[in-house]
Amino acid sequence: MKYTFVIGLLFLTVQTVFGQHLYPEKYDACKLSSYCLDCGEPKAEVPQNAVESILSGLNQKSLKNINGLIRVQILVDTLGNSCLLSSENSTNVSSKNLSLQKAINSMPKWIPSMKDNIAQSASVSLELTFQDGKLGIRRVSFDFKYNTNFKSVGTPDVKGSKEKDLSVQWTVLSQSNSDLPWDMTRTVVSTNNNLWIGTDNGLVRMTNEKMEIFGVTNSAIKPVKYNQNIASSIRDAATDSRGNIWLAAGWDAYKFDGNKWTVYDSINSPIEWPRKIFSDNYGNVFLTSWDGLAKYDGENWSVIDSSNSALPSNKISGVYLDNQDRLWIGTFDGNIRIDKDQTIEFNESDSPLKEGSISQAFEDSKGNFWFDLYSKDKTKSGMWLLKPNGEWTSIRPRNSELFTKNDINDFLLDEENGVLWVALNSVGLIRYDIENDKWETYTPENSEVPSIHVMKLTKDKNGIIWAATFAGVIKMNK
């Protein structure tokens, strides 16, 4: 069968994401710690003989009867090497039988994406269309002028619970059924009157199911460099004791009191690329970064780092102030606890804090401490419980690989109902009924949870659990 080659462009509207698979078929051999979605100036350029190269690399026998569309996400590194990161196959021939990965990975070198005249890694998407003896190849070009219904769904790494065993159902709010400005959301915070949703294109204030959008035209949130119409992605958010909403977006932090915006950057504060935000009951706001822990007391800024404390590293993984006013600080090289004028180090202790980095902590009404610990050794990571008597317990299901391969993005302890909620990276949402020792795993394959990327959790004044995901915000049905 003779193939005719057609090259074109397909324009979509999506926003840059980092480290994400766009399509459900994932290829583990293709990995980089970070890359951006079709970014750069100029962007990565397809090799001139890309069509012939892909075609020659495919299984020739399978080409005789193939029809349909294949979308491929190709990772192009700084040297121009290409590898298949993900795909979505709608043809009558499987990707494996077609030798799709081999064909993409054997392509000639691309011209890599550039930023400030420096090569960078980027993912590029192509559409391969097979029909009636013709092969059409189109590059998916990302146009940022308009809004989008782009979402990242994914396939879970572990098998979820049986549908009949799930006790909760969910409602999904997305661009298709609400005023949400972007489907990719990373944080959600509940206050007495509002629900705040941080998206990859603006902040949403939701009051009585009505959404108000704060973007580049009506807020201080800075736009991304590649398009002045797109707001910087909001990584985290929190409210302080004064009722202000705080955001970590781009290189800066933002405070919004409902009327006035304040931007904190490297000029008027020690802020530079804030990652997480924590507020205590005294009006203090803490922001983690890789340059130490920044603290704002309502008037002044201060920094806790390795130069003025016993911190083993300036790369802060988490922070928490408990009911005894003890400040727990986690770094990627160890943890400390500051008890007024005394600092406790855990490097020599027999507790899990010797091995795992504090990512998140919470003290319940009984004085128990719940920790999310990060560690490359997954037997030392995951959820841990510290009782008032000093006893440690690993919180994980028996005979399960649930926490052995995936990190925790967030957790929420619903004390009123005795339930621990865990947002598990690349899986979905975990529900643990503490009293009955019952675990439930919600994924896109067995529930309404729309994405394996569940990022943040919150509980509203009515006791409803909300979660920010990469495919919209989900609300627990009563």
> Cβ(400)–Cβ(390) under 8 Å?
no
User: Based on the domain organization, do 372 and 407 belong to the same domain?
Assistant: yes
For residue 11, pLDDT beyond 50: no
User: Based on the domain organization, do 122 and 210 belong to the same domain?
Assistant: no
276, 281, 303, 280: which is closest to 374 by C-alpha? 276
Q: Which tokens sit at 47?
A: 């090799």
Q: What mean pLDDT, rounded, does the chain reach? A: 87
Tally of domains in the chain: 2
> Would 151 be classed as within a structural domain?
no
Output DSSP code: residue 18: S
pLDDT digits (tens, 9 = 90+) for 25-57: 888 777 765 677 777 778 888 887 777 888 888
What is the extent of the structural domain holding 466? 163-476
Whole-model pTM: value is 0.73
> Would 149 be classed as within a structural domain?
no
User: Based on the domain organization, do 138 and 170 belong to the same domain?
Assistant: no
User: Based on the domain organization, do 335 and 377 belong to the same domain?
Assistant: yes
Q: Which tokens sit at 31?
A: 């990995």
The confidence score (pLDDT) of residue 151 equals 67
Q: Which tokens sit at 119?
A: 């090569």
The confidence score (pLDDT) of residue 18 equals 35
> Would 157 be classed as within a structural domain?
no
Residue 190's SS3 state is: strand
Buried b (16+ CB within 10 A) or exposed e, 17-51: beebbbbebbbeebeeeebbbbbbeebbbbbeebb
Q: Report the alpha-carbon distance of residue 357 to residue 14 in Å, rounded.
A: 34
Q: Report the alpha-carbon distance of residue 77 to residue 33 in Å, rounded.
A: 11
The count of other CB atoms within 10 Å of the CB of residue 94 is 11
> Cβ(78)–Cβ(111) under 8 Å?
no
> Among 142, 172, 189, which residue terminates a domain?
142
> Would 153 be classed as within a structural domain?
no
User: Based on the domain organization, do 241 and 343 belong to the same domain?
Assistant: yes
pLDDT digits (tens, 9 = 90+) for 73-91: 999 988 889 999 888 888 8
pLDDT digits (tens, 9 = 90+) for 403-430: 887 889 999 999 999 999 999 988 999 9
The confidence score (pLDDT) of residue 268 equals 96
The confidence score (pLDDT) of residue 32 equals 64
For residue 390, pLDDT beyond 60: yes
User: Based on the domain organization, do 230 and 303 belong to the same domain?
Assistant: yes
pLDDT digits (tens, 9 = 90+) for 105-152: 988 888 888 887 888 888 888 888 877 656 677 777 654 433 445 567
User: Based on the domain organization, do 183 and 95 belong to the same domain?
Assistant: no
For residue 15, pLDDT beyond 90: no
pLDDT digits (tens, 9 = 90+) for 317-358: 999 999 999 999 999 999 999 998 899 999 877 899 999 999
Name the pairing type of β-strands 277-279 and 261-264: unpaired
> Among 97, 113, 142, which residue terminates a domain?
142
